[in-house]
Structure 1
Amino acid sequence: MQRGKGMKFVEDSRVLDKESRNKIPKDYSEYPGRTEAFWPNFLLKEWLVGAVFLIGFLCLVAAHPSPLEQQADPNNASYIPLPDWYFLFLYELLKYEFAAGDYVVIGTVVIPGLAFGALLIAPFLDRGPERRPSKRPIATGLMLLGVIATIWLTYESVEAVNWEDRANYSVEAVPDVEIDEEDPGYEVYQNNCMSCHGGQLEGNPASGGPSLVGIPHGKEALKDIAVNGVGEMPANMFEGTDEELDQLAEFIISVNEQANGEGEEGESEEESE
């Protein structure tokens, strides 16, 4: 009988073979569609792509920071806040009939919940190994639906905004003046004019109140406008005494002098007017 014939040799599991000692990644060339090891080859490429994108995005943010608007003014009830661009699609969704008003829960909870829930369960609904979009209809359909809806709603929201008017709310549009809140005329202005002309006299495009910085009117002209109105401003908007009316006019003039860099010369000119 030949030695070893009919016998089965069992390897001792306590002894490592040469292949397990070297721990060399398998050659995936024999498997179609799998030409490299997931670790570290594939993950290394993913990390490199992600790092390049992140660095590029950080450079873009540093070069072009997000534009800021003026400080919130609780006296301006006509101001409509606008969310950042990545939330504009949800902002536009709330304008539709069945996503706002009595149905606001649908627009704020139900629809976003279904959308994000579909994204979460998409990997479990389609477990196919195929990478071609045509071979994965569920995942591809959910992706296309989400992308198209987001782009369309964002576009509709951007088109509906009057960007020229909103530019007046930017930080750059704030007059370069310091408001003296201790001035007696400031309290009169706050009670009578701030809701239409803003906390910094910068104006309010939403309510139609123009900026009061840079106006050419003198003291008497300002008093007349406050009482009798002008243009779209109706009469009898001012509620106060004659002394408060004088304080209001002097306060507006002092702010304009500060904005124009004028001093006593500007004050004497206004008195002559």
Structure 2
Amino acid sequence: MKRDNGGMSGTPWVSDLVLIGGGHAHVHVIKMLGMPPLRSVVEENGIRCTLIAKDVYTPYSGMLPGLVANHYTAEEMHIDLNRLCRLSHVRLIHASATGITYQPGGGGTVTCDDGRPPIRYDALSIDIGSAPSGFSSHKTMDVTPVKPISEFASRFRELKNRLQETAKSYTKERPFTLLVVGGGAGGIELALSAQYSLAQILENSGGNKNLLKVVLATRGKGFLESHNPKVRAIFQRIFADRGIEVRFEAEAVGVEASPQNSTTTHGHVNENVENAPMS
């Protein structure tokens, strides 16, 4: 059923595609919606596209290692959804989705937290990202979850500020220890970029960059297990050259505060650390 006018070509809206969340997949979809031939197909068929996002600026996680290594600023790694939607003729609703209904015959509505009437959809896609379970309550205990990425930049900045203030207090017996949990590509990149960044801070703050210890813990028998063997061998060599310790078959299952105001991530791996990013 035709409901109203509004398409760039004058074709009445016939159906609604609603996207919830400004994640990578939806950013790519919105970009493609603004490009031929998809743009003309959408307009000619009366398809109205709507993005519902709680953040107008969404971080691009592919640039996260560069942010950690100080190659990019937080502003440079964010995508302006308002501008992207405007270029692709996608309606942007700056709100959080709080409820979804589904009709047996197909379609339904999305309720938002800004009080507007429910938003109708014929097709719905959800791309709101993820966060590690079980560690959200430990943010004040020197644990830094990488996800949600929108909050990571400020948390890592706090870590760098603390290291700068305490740079001269570390010794060979008690170095600044960073435990990275996760042996996938994200964990590998984070361990390498964090080592580079934190070593610079130690050196520039009157400390000794050699008093930085980086440990990677993974529950797998190796890291990058889904990658080519040659790629794995290259990164194993890089980790050895950089002095990054790897704990295999070491699953982190809990966090507790230690008497030295550090954090112990325990289970199959037990390490006194100053900070533990969860990749």
Higher relative contact order (CA 8 A, sep 6+): 2
TM-score, normalized by the shorter chain, greater than 0.5: no
Using the size of structure 2 for normalisation, the TM-score is 0.24
Larger helix fraction of residues = 1
Bigger radius of gyration among the two: 1
